[in-house]
Structure formats: C-alpha cells, structure tokens
Amino acid sequence: MRGSRLCAFLGMFALIAVSLSLLAQKPEPPMRGIHWARGHQPPAAQANPDMTWHGGNILTTTQTAAIFWGTNWGNSSFVSDKITGLDSWYNGVGGSTYGATSDEYTGPNGTQVRDTISYQGHHIDLSSAPRHAPQTSTILAEVCRVIPQSQLVSNGYYAVYVDKPRGHANYCAWHSAGSCGGTQVQFAFFFNLDGDPGCDPQSTVSSESQGLAALANVTGHELSEARSDPQLNAWYDSSGAENADKCAWTFGGPYVSLSNGTRWKIQGNWSNYAFDNNLGYPNSSGQNGCVDGTNVPGPYTH
C-alpha cells in the first residue's frame, strides 16, 4: 500500500512538473514588418493594394526608447555618430510631416494614429549581443531586462540596436510585440548596417555617416509599422504587408525634414488615401500610394 501511494505521489509530482514546464513555454512572438534587404522583397498585393483594418488597436501616442546592445557600443570608433544621430532622429520624428504619414489609420471606437511621439532616451548594454539573427524572444528578453519596470508602458516602442552585422540574414530589421511583467510592449530589432549595401538608402545628406543613414531609414520603417499595427492585428494588406513594407526601398525625395530641423533620407509609407486619389509616388510595384511628407500635403487624416 505504501508503495502504491508513493507511486501515486510521484506520478502527481511528475504531472505538476510537466504542467509547469508547459506554462513556462511561452509562444515565440511573431516577426512582422520585416525590412528585407534589397532584392529580397516579397511580391506586392496586386488585386487591391490598399491596407485593411483587422480589428486590432493602434497607437494614438507613442513613447520610444533605444537600447544599444553589444561590446562595441563602448568603442568610440564604432559608435561614431550613430547614438547621437538616432537620439536626434527620435527627438525629431514626432510632430513632423514624415511622422504624419501614418496618421490616417484608425482603430477601435474611432481612435486614430497620431504623430505624438516622445523619446525617453537610450540605454547602453555592453554585454555580448547575439552573433547571428536572434529569435524575437531574445530581443524581448533584452527589452524586459534593460528597461526599468517603472518605465515600461503599453504604448512603448523599444528599439534594440546590436553591434553585429547581418551576415547571411536577408533582412535589415523587424518589429514585434510581447509582454514584460504583464505590460504589453512593442519592440524592434536592428542589425549593425555599417558598410552594408543591401540595407543602404544611399543618402546624400552630408552630415551623417553611412551607418547612421542606414539605421535611420530602417528605424522609420519599423516605427511607422509599430504605430499602425502595434500588436500585429491592425493594419496590413491581403499579402500581410504593413504600411512601410509596401514602400520599402522607394523614396519620394532626396530627404525628409523632421520637426527639429534634421534631414534624413527615409522611405515613404503607404497611404490608402493617396493611392485611391492617385496622389502618391510609386512603390517598387508601380502602385502610386507612397507618401513621405514631401510629396502630399499632410497630415494624412482623411
């Protein structure tokens, strides 16, 4: 009898252990808004290229912060102008005509994306970053570890810039969503793009290095998508492409000006309104729906 009780106890313990293990295995957050390197862009939706709303929330306001992860972020030669430049980029995107290119998209109860974007500054983590393309859960864990819990907010967008090149990965950046201690957050990942022709916008703005220009362009891509599709269930087209995906590697002009007077070569974003009224510039598929704040009067709240 005693042996059977012991077996029953051990069986129950094993069942509890398995249950706890299953609970600990959280699903990997999906990778969306992938900014593919040049030549790797998937085919565009053709029948009706407009994006549709899938019922999810949008960001009416956005709080941003940057994380620079990797040992090289302690090396001034590697850092160059990248940290100060991205600080300037994030401080200028709010209230700019470029920021307003995502403002036409709405969410539940008539809520609307607004270019009310604030910057909480950057964090530097000098521990070793992943050497190769990381899982989304790895980047989420970095956000949860580095950003103080008291500073995490549900409308937060946390961008992680590693010091490693993309190597054989066929993309430059992506964004996703997850949870830190019960707070739902948006986050993004960026490779180091120094000397990377596949992720280079070929900017002619003389005040910025090539590596900074490349990061600024993909930063605009991911932030625009995080605002209009923060939980990956709001705005995208029939092929799954979000507003920046649809205009990747196409530019309306040589640069856009942000609200702090800085200039950057940044790709445009898709506007249903511009496409429906033939007001945008063409994307790589020839669809006239791209706007960057220079080619169509904004904000795009139609």
* 159-210: pLDDT as tens digits: 999 999 999 999 999 999 999 999 999 999 999 999 999 999 999 999 899 9
Largest CA distance in the chain: 84
Q: Is the pLDDT of residue 297 over 80?
A: no
pLDDT over threshold 50, residue 18: no
More confident residue, 21 or 178: 178
**Residue 7 clears pLDDT 90, i.e. is over it:** no
pTM beyond 0.75, yes or no:
yes
How do strand 116-125 and strand 235-236 relate by DSSP bridges?
unpaired
Instruction: Write down the mean pLDDT value for the chain.
Output: 89
Q: Specify the pLDDT at position 300.
A: 53
Q: Check residue 87 and give its pLDDT.
A: 98
Q: Does the pLDDT of residue 26 top 80, yes or no? A: no
Question: Is 80 exceeded by the pLDDT of residue 43?
Answer: no
Residue 143 has a pLDDT of: 98
Within its chain, how far is the Cα of 243 from the centroid?
Answer: 12
What is the token pair recorded at 171?
């993309």
Query: In this predicted structure, what is the pLDDT of residue 133?
Result: 95
Per-residue model confidence (pLDDT) at position 56: 97
- 75 has pLDDT over 50: yes
Residue of 45 and 195 predicted with greater confidence: 195
What is the Cα–Cα distance from 67 to 127, expressed in whole angstroms?
A: 12
**Band (39; pLDDT cuts 50, 70, 90):** confident
Q: CA triplet 125, 170, 63: central angle to 5 degrees?
A: 40
HSE at residue 70, side-chain half, CA atoms within 13 A, is 21
292 pLDDT band (50/70/90 cuts)? very high
